[in-house]
Amino acid sequence: MSLEVIILAAGQGTRMQSKIPKVLHHVGGKPMLAHVLDCATELSANKIRVVTGFQGQEIRDAIESSAPNYLTSIQWFDQAEQNGTGHAVMQAMPGVDPKADCLVLYGDVPLIDIEVLKNVVQSQSTLTLLTAKPDNIEGMGRILRNERDQVVGIVEQKDATEEQKEIIEINTGILLCKGKQLADWLSKLGNNNSQGEYYLTDIVAMAVADGAAVDAVIAEDASRFAGVNSKQDLAQIERTLQKLNAKSLMAAGVTLVDPDRIDVRGIVKCDQDCSVDINVIFEGEVTIGSDVTIESNCIIRDSVIGDDCHIYANTVIENATLGSRCSVGPFARLRPNTVLENEVRIGNFVEIKKSRLDQGAKANHLSYIGDSTVGKNVNIGAGVITCNYDGANKHQTIIGDDVFVGSDSQIVAPVTIGAGATVGAGSTITRDIEAGDLAISRAKQVAYKNWKRPEKA
C-alpha cells in the first residue's frame, strides 16, 4: 500500500510575535518543518504534500534552498484562507490516490517519534488516530470513547462540556486514513462550531457513523508530539530535544558532565569513552572518535575529530578534520578546510584557516596560519603570521618538515621554506628559504648613550 503524507504548515503563528513563518523557526539547528519532512522521508512516503498559507512562498524558498534529498517528493499547496484543519487538508487532496494511506502531520510538531509513527502507519484500520496523555491538557481536543473503550469522536476544548474537559486522553492531530474515505468525509465537513472552522477531527464521528474501523495508538511520551505556538513553547521543545540528544550520547558511551548543558544542532556520531564538559555546542554533522576530551564552552561544527584528541576550553572548530592525539586550545579557532594530522598541537589564541599541518607540528600560542601547508614536526613560535592576502588574492605558504619559525615573524606569501630551515625571531620573510638555512630579517639594533626620555611640560 502506498503512503502519502500531508503536512499542514499554513498557520500564521501570531503568538510567536515574529515576522518569520512559524514552521521556519529553528529547533535543534534547523526549521521545524524540515524535521517533519525528514520524518516523512524516513517513512518512505511516496508523496509528500505540504499545505502552506501565511508567507507560503518564503517557506517554500527556505526549504528548497537547502536542497534536501526529499525535495523532488514535495508537492506544495496553498491555503489562502485559514479555515481550520479540515479545510487545510482539503487543499492537498487533489490527486491523492484513493487506495493510498494518507498520514496527516503538522509542520509545527518537530519532535515526532518515528517508531510510534511506524506503528500508526502499520495499522489496518480505516482511520487511525495518534493520541496521548500529557500532563498539561489545556486547550487540547479530548478523545471520546464509549463504554467498550472504543473511540467514537473528538471534541475540541472550546466545544467541550465540563465533564468532557476532565478527559485526560487528547488528540495529537496526527491521523492515518484511507484516501477514498478521507476525501469522502472531508466533503461532508461543516463549520457549525464556536470557531466557525472546518475541523478535521469531525471525521472521527463520521467514520463511527459509517461503521468504519477506528483505531487509536497512544503515544507513551506525549512530549514528542507537542506543537509550538509561542516562543515559550519553542524553548520547551528545544530543551526536550536536547535531553533526547544527551540521552542518546550517554547511551553510546559518552560522559556528559551535565546533560542539561549541551546542545546538539545536527547529527553527532561519537565513539566510546569520550568526555564532554558543559556548554558545548555541536552543529551540522560531527564525527568524534574514542577517548576524546572536549572541555567547556566549545563550538564544533561539521568536523571530524580523531581518537584521543583533547579540545581545550573555549575553542571553535568549523569544517575541520583532526587526526589522532591532537591537542587544540584553549581559545583556539580552526576555520574551514583545516586539516591536522596526528599529534598536532594548537595552543591558545591560534587561528588556522584552509591549511594542513602534518604529524607532530605545533603552534602553541598567538599565531595565524592561513592557506598553508606545514610539514612534520614544524615548530611555529608565538606571534607568527602567514601573510596570505595581498588585498586582492590569497597566496600559499609552504613550510617543509622540521622547520623552526621564531616568534613574532611574518611570512609573506607566496613563499616556500625548505625542510630543516630556521627563521630567526622577529623576521619578515619575503623570499624562499633553502633547506637547512637560517634566515634572519631584522633592522640593525642601535643604542644611544646617555639618552633621556622626554618629560611632560
Q: Which of 26, 310, 365, 395 is catalytic?
A: 365
Widest pairwise Cα distance in the chain:
110
Which residue, chain included where needed, has cell 462550531?
A: 193
Yes or no: say if 305 and 289 are a contact pair by the CB < 8 Å rule. yes
One-letter identity of residue 10: A
348-367 in b/e form (b: 16+ CB < 10 A) is bbbbbbbbbbbbbbbbbbbb
Active site residue 35: no
Yes or no: say if 104 and 183 are a contact pair by the CB < 8 Å rule. no
For the four alpha carbons of 234, 240, 244 and 245, in that order, the dihedral sign comes to: positive
- Phi and psi at 19, nearest 5°, equal -85, -5
Q: Which residues contact 392 (CB under 8 A, 6 or more apart)?
A: none
Give the burial class of 310: count Cβ atoms within 10 A of its Cβ; 0-12 exposed, 13-18 middle, 19 or more buried: middle
Strands 214-219 and 127-132, bridge-based pairing: parallel
Instruction: Determine the Cα–Cα distance for residues 37 and 52; give it in Å rounded to an integer.
Output: 14
Yes or no: say if 74 and 59 are a contact pair by the CB < 8 Å rule. no
Q: Which residues does the annotation mark as catalytic? A: 365
